[in-house]
Amino acid sequence: MAPAKKIIKKPSSTEPAPDSAFLKALRDFTSHVSYHRFSLSSAVPDAIAATISSSADAAPPLKALSDLGALVHSRATNFSLACRPPITVDAAKKSLEELSGLVGPLAAAVYCTLPEKHGRSLYETAQQNVSLVFSGMEALASELIPADESSQRGRLASTGVLWEACNDLTALNNLGLHGIVQKKVEGYKSMLQDAIEDLEGWIENGGDDEDEDWDDAFGDNDSETEDSGDEEGGGKELDPASEAQIEYAKATVRRLKTISALYARLNASRLKPTPSLTPAPEDIASIDTIADLAKQLSVETDELVCKIQERALQAEVSALDKEICEKARELMEVGRVKEKESEDVRKWWEEVEARLK
């Protein structure tokens, strides 16, 4: 039998030209970006921290981050256009070099948001956003390494991902520190609301954890398998919740809704976006504390709801409930600006405090 002929697949006309120098440039670029992306997870180098700390300019470098985000967006667009088939290698190389030139300044801008000077919330947000930009850069270049039969495209697919990361970075300047933390608290409030709705559903169901829709979706066989395992001593079915447990859950919902209202009040008053404001050091510290407490409360309320639904020991539930109320009162104290409160606002805070006791 004659040997099978070796079929040589011709490159698709949509693939970039097989320019070895260009492919090397792409690999060097991804290595360069990857190095700086991983460096962001490390502490700010001491020498850089000392220089930034001694600087007379106290304004957070959000404007620099915003400008760099816009530049990356523009140069990524140029690179993507140059890589449309048939690829223009010289133009692609030039655009790649211009994009590479922004990597170092982006990392430096993150270092300039030194947490000791501008607050941990600002530093972590800059760190996360720039890391996403770097990831988008890597993905953009990686689409061309190597060029294979899957490269049927009119535009690099990762361009949109990088654009979105750039837009998020550019938006930081219009938020300022207060607006950045406001977005964080909005996210934590959403987590808290999910926990509240979960517990309300459990109460409406009479404290029954069984989800018939879940069983229906996966078939009766799964349920039968679980039941047989229980009979053999595997899992243990929970007893129906007692009336006292249901009432405790209802009281918990009321307290959690109070905390949710507290988040909303902070976002509407204490955390308004202030792009032109340079916060005082004591204000930076209090804003960081608000972000930390709001995050801790959202995580712990989710844990509390789980404990209630799982019929945990009442001592455990009560201890966690007490800790949550204490942190909520601490959040309230940090978030208030008593000297600027009207009589109605003062009464609102007092009512919140009473509900959290």
Residues 46 and 141 in one domain: yes
Residues 152 and 79 in one domain: yes
d(CA 282, CA 334): 11
Summary mean pLDDT of the chain: 83
How many helices (H) and strands (E) would you count in the chain? Answer: 14, 0
Residue 77, domain extent: 20-157
In a domain, 215, yes or no: yes
In a domain, 167, yes or no: no
In a domain, 176, yes or no: no
pTM over 0.75? The answer is yes
Q: What is the band of 148 on the pLDDT scale with cuts at 50, 70, 90? A: very low
- 70-85 pLDDT, tens digit per residue, is 999 999 999 999 888 8
Highest mean pLDDT among 112-116, 147-151, 176-180: 176-180
Which DSSP category does 16 fall into? P
Residue by residue, DSSP assigns 285-296 as: HHHHHHHHHHHH
Contact 355, 258 (CB under 8 A): yes
Amino acid at 248: Y
Looking at residue 12, what is its pLDDT? 46
- Both structure tokens of 150: 């899957």
The domain tally of the chain equals 2
Residues 153 and 197 in one domain: no
Looking at residue 57, what is its pLDDT? 57
d(CA 277, CA 59): 9
In a domain, 77, yes or no: yes
Residues 198 and 326 in one domain: yes
**If you average pLDDT over residues 251-268, what whole number do you get?**
95
Amino acid at 44: V
Cis peptide before 11 (omega within 30 of 0): no
In a domain, 166, yes or no: no
Q: How many CA atoms lie within 13 A of 193 on its CB side?
A: 11
* Alpha helices (H) along the chain: 20-39, 46-53, 62-82, 89-100, 103-112, 115-118, 120-142, 159-204, 212-218, 220-231, 243-265, 281-309, 314-335, 343-355
In a domain, 328, yes or no: yes
Of the two residues 89 and 13, the one the predictor is more confident about is: 89
Which residues, other chains included, contact 258 with Cβ-Cβ below 8 Å and sequence gap of 6+?
Answer: 328, 352, 355, 356
Helix (H, G, I), strand (E, B), or coil: what is residue 88? coil
Q: Is the pLDDT of residue 11 over 50?
A: no
Helix (H, G, I), strand (E, B), or coil: what is residue 55? coil
Of 326, 310, 267, 295, nearest to 192 by C-alpha is: 295
d(CA 129, CA 172): 9
In a domain, 205, yes or no: yes
d(CA 301, CA 252): 10
d(CA 282, CA 292): 15
Residues 216 and 112 in one domain: no
Residues 137 and 274 in one domain: no
- 185-226 pLDDT, tens digit per residue, is 999 999 999 999 999 999 998 877 655 444 444 455 554 444
- 108-136 pLDDT, tens digit per residue, is 999 888 888 888 999 999 999 999 999 99
d(CA 48, CA 80): 34
d(CA 102, CA 33): 10
Distances (CA, A) of 218 to 30, 46, 160, 213, 230: 43, 56, 36, 9, 18
Whichever domain contains 140, its CATH number is: 1.20.1420
Looking at residue 206, what is its pLDDT? 81
